[in-house]
Structure formats: C-alpha cells, structure tokens
Structure 1
Amino acid sequence: MPLEIITLPCLADNYAFLIHNPASGETALVDAPEAAAVKSALSARGWGLDWILLTHHHWDHVDGVQELKAAYGAKVIGAAADAHRLPALDTAVEDGGSFTLLGEEVQVMDVSGHTVGHIAFYLPGSKAVFTADSLMALGCGRLFEGTPQQMWSSLTRLAALPPHTMVYSGHEYTQSNGAFAITADPGNPALQARIRDIAKARSDGSPTVPSTLQLELDTNPFLRAGDSAVRAHLGMEGAEDAEVFAEIRKRKDNF
C-alpha cells in the first residue's frame, strides 16, 4: 500500500507533514513546529507517532519535539552536522546516506543555505521530497547562515530530482512569493497562471503545499537563474548562474 502523506498547518504559517504506512500502522512526522496541532491530527486519525524527522534547527521546526517524544515515545532523526543545536537525536544522518522508514528508502540530502546543516529527505518510492526552508513553493529560504553559492548548489541538486517529485516545503508563503516572482520573470505565462491558481486556493482556504518539482522548474525564479528571459530581464545575460541567483535572492530580501 502507498504511504499516506498529510499536510498539517501549524503555528501561523508553518507546515509539518505526517507520513503513515496503512499496512504497518506506523507514522512519522517531518518537523515539529508545535505539539498541539500534531497531537490533534494524530488523535483524529487514531495514529501513534514512531519517528520525528528534523530538517534544521530553527525553533519553528523543532519546538514540539520534546512534548511529542514524551507523549508517543517517538525516535528523533536529524543531521549529524546539526546535532549540536537540534533536540537530542536518536539517529544522526549525513548527506548522501539513506535509511529505511515506514518500509521505504529515505535519502538524505544536504541543502545548506537557509542554515548550514539543513537537510532534505527524499523518498523515491513515494516520489516525495521534504525540503522545509530550502526549496519552497515559488521561493527559497532566506540565507540566514549560508552563502548564495551554497544555496544555489542545494537548489541545483533538488532540481535534478525527477520532475514528477512532490515538493513538501515548510511554510505557506506561496502567495507572497508569487508577488515577488512576477517581478523577476514577468513574461512567464506559466507563472501568471500559477499566481491565479494560488489566489483561488488561498481564497478557498486550501494549502498551496505540496507542489510538483516540474511546476517549480517552470515558475520558481530561484530555480530559473539559467533561463534566458530571466537573465535578460535582470540585465545579467553574461553572468554565472550562481550570480543570477544571488541577485534574485537580494531582490527578494529587499522586496
């Protein structure tokens, strides 16, 4: 049976994700912004919680860990490189490593940039990648710790995944990201259509996460630094891709 993935709104604009194996009854959580919303979702479905996967150390991704671990006995999995500032880990993982979760392979990807030591979890069997604040719906995370080159390298790795991969990112920022994206890529009809779709989804109270990687490749300016139309609009036809990305990120920071 395929794994079931639940997009779970938390706090003001965060997302966590429940991954459930209907055959075994086991459940994992990706990031723990708060305990109350997770407990409520688990209770409504009659599920326990076996694992908590952490992408990075920021409080709005880890604050619920201790309460959830105490309540369910869940084991915590996170990056060895970030272990000194994450909640206590039961399993420390590294870039390029893999482990089995809920009967599926999970590949660990270093996606530093937003923070150093940020990881993504890729489940090829479920065609899903959990990117938190690295690649986001129509955006990417602000560079609090890493460099533009680090983030561009991280995004390039994610962009190389199969285009049908579902991208589960950490925040409902998509509408505001779209308002910026159109300033960087104004002639993109796919982006124009996506902005309309986002407005409808939000007016209906529906989440815009997850998205497909193909949709991000077609519309997310942070993945389109090599696109000739984006380069021409920015006046950077002769620049390196990482330089174009850095300019887009700087413009977003000041938007």
Structure 2
Amino acid sequence: MDYRPVKSAERAIRLLEVLAASPELLTLPELQERLGYPRSSLYALVRTLRDLGWIESDSTGSAFGIGPDALSSGTAYLDRDPATTYVAKALDALSREVEHAAHYARRDGSSVLYLASHDYDDGVYCAYQVGRRRPAHMTALGKALLAELTPAEVDELLPQRLTAATEHTVTDRRQLHRQLDLARDRGWAMEREEGVLGIACVATVVSYRIPATDAMSCTLPVEVADEPAELAKVTDALIDHARRLERTLRAEGIR
C-alpha cells in the first residue's frame, strides 16, 4: 500500500515544533513566514490547537507559544521509560562527586534529546533543559554517540551543512571526524565552547543498548576544563558512573 502523509497532521506537528523551538511567543505573520502555510489555514490550525491546550496565546491573543498539554505529552515519554529513575540517581551521584552539573541525553537522528539534568552551583548555567534538542555535532553527548557509528554512517546521518551556535562550533567534517576518532580512542568526547561560550562539556555513552543510544555528561567552566588534573578527575568519575549505570540497567532487564 502506498503511503501518503496526512497534510493536516503534518502541518500541526510542524507548527508545534516551530513554537517549541522559539524562546519567544510568535505572531501569525511570523509563523506564516517560518512555515509558509496559507494565512487562513494557519489561523484555523492555531485556533484549534489553542482550544485543545496545545498552544497558548498572550493577553492580546496575537502571539502564540507552546501550551501546557504539550508538556503533559512530553513528560509521558519520560514516564514510560524505565531507565529514568536509575538515570536520576546516577546523575545525582556523579554531580555530587565532581561538583559540576550532569546531563543525560538520547540520540534521535542527527540531534540529541535531553532526558535528565542535575544542576550544581558551580557558577555554570546551562540552557540544556529536559526536553530540549541540540544538534549532535556540537555537543559532547552527541559526539560520544556519533563516535559509536562508522564515519560513513556519520556522514549519511548528519545534514550536509553543519550549523554553528558559537564561533567555536566545529562545522568542518574533517575536523569533526578527528574529534570522533579521538573519542573512540579514549572512550569519551569533549566540546569546548561549541554550544555555549565559557562552557566545556565531556561525555561518554551508556551502553545498555547495542548500539548505544544514550550518553551522560558533565558541564564545567572552560578554565576548569583547561586544568589537566581536574579534567582527568571529571572524566574518570564520568566513565565510572556511566559503567555503573549501564550495569544496573542491564541487570534490571532494561533495553
């Protein structure tokens, strides 16, 4: 049977994705510019999703953002994942040991989806909140997971043009592949100010699935990451806690 996408469903999802990716409310003209939908169709779609709770508007009704029902559906993904309880405990233990924030993400295509975070008051603010997506090529979590693939698989997976978040983001494929080779050799990946200025991140995979889909990381100030002894302490602890977590998940039969 031939498959044809349902246009109305596709448009609704694309609209929600645009709203979810925007830190600010968007007006109908702004949404139309980004999506290219006919104005009348877009208005009807926005109104329907607003009435259903998936979109909310400002007090004037002229600007729109993601609604509370989207959050409920998003948390349902975490609620049905049996790994999350163990992940939360692992991040807490790791963060306490290294005294830095810890994160957990899953690769979804060419992006990583943040599933859990544990903040630490070390002066580092990281905007990688649960539910956020980031391009895999610019995060340590993503690099660790990309390193599980062959170079050919990486090239096929990533978009032709690699976007940049800062002037330090690696967008050259040859340089990215060198980073991935290094990650394969040492068992952990690193990015330095590729996503957020002033912040470095180290990550390693949690191999309870084959191939690995998940990874955990620590974020730290770049000046701390530049201290070899401190970096070694963090990466050693990170790998230790990741291996403990994957053993626990396997023992619990979680795949």
The structure where strand makes up a greater share of residues is: 1
The structure where helix makes up a greater share of residues is: 2
Higher relative contact order (CA 8 A, sep 6+): 2
Which has the larger Rg?
2
TM-score (norm 2): 0.31
